[in-house]
């Protein structure tokens, strides 16, 4: 088996796997968008987005790294992934803390 045939076989396997990972990531990002629309206040919206956004981005960027193979784009995608995982909880916490400090009350059943 030559090197070209081996590379072709690897691409044959990695392409469907990367497409599946990208689709799973898009599903989680869609769920996050629906959560933003459906939930009533900033606290529940922030909770929905911070959890599913990280998971969706992980699968989406994981699929992209698998599809790209070893290149400079791989390093860039991994840097974005690391920064996203470091900054997403901080951004969610800062948003909720600013809402709390401004006096925004959490939603309750009596508000409905």
> What's the CA gap between 47 and 36, in Å, rounded?
9
- 37-52 pLDDT, tens digit per residue, is 998 888 888 888 888 8
Q: For residue 25, what are the contacts with CB-CB under 8 A and spacing of at least 6?
A: 55, 56, 57, 58, 59, 60, 61, 62, 63
Query: Long-range pairs for 106-112 at CB < 8 Å and ≥24 separation?
Result: 106/41, 106/43, 107/40, 107/41, 107/43, 107/44, 111/40, 112/40
pLDDT band, very low/low/confident/very high, at 60 (cuts 50, 70, 90) = very high
For residue 2, what pLDDT is reported?
75
> What's the CA gap between 38 and 59, in Å, rounded?
23
The structure's pTM equals 0.80
Q: Give the residue among 76, 33, 83 at the shortest CA–CA distance from 53.
A: 33
- 70-105 pLDDT, tens digit per residue, is 888 888 988 999 999 899 989 989 989 999 999 888
For residue 48, what pLDDT is reported?
84
> What's the CA gap between 14 and 9, in Å, rounded?
9
């Amino acid at each position: 088996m030559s090197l070209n045939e081996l590379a072709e076989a690897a691409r044959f396997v990695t392409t469907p796997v990367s497409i599946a990972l990208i689709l799973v990531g898009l599903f989680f990002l869609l769920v996050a968008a629906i959560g933003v629309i459906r939930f009533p206040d900033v606290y529940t919206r922030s909770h929905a987005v911070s959890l599913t956004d990280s998971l969706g981005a992980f699968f989406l960027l994981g699929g992209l790294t698998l599809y790209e193979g070893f290149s400079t784009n791989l390093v860039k995608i991994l840097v974005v992934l690391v920064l996203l995982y470091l900054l997403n909880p901080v951004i969610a916490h800062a948003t909720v803390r600013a809402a709390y400090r401004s006096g925004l009350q959490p939603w309750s059943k009596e508000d409905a």
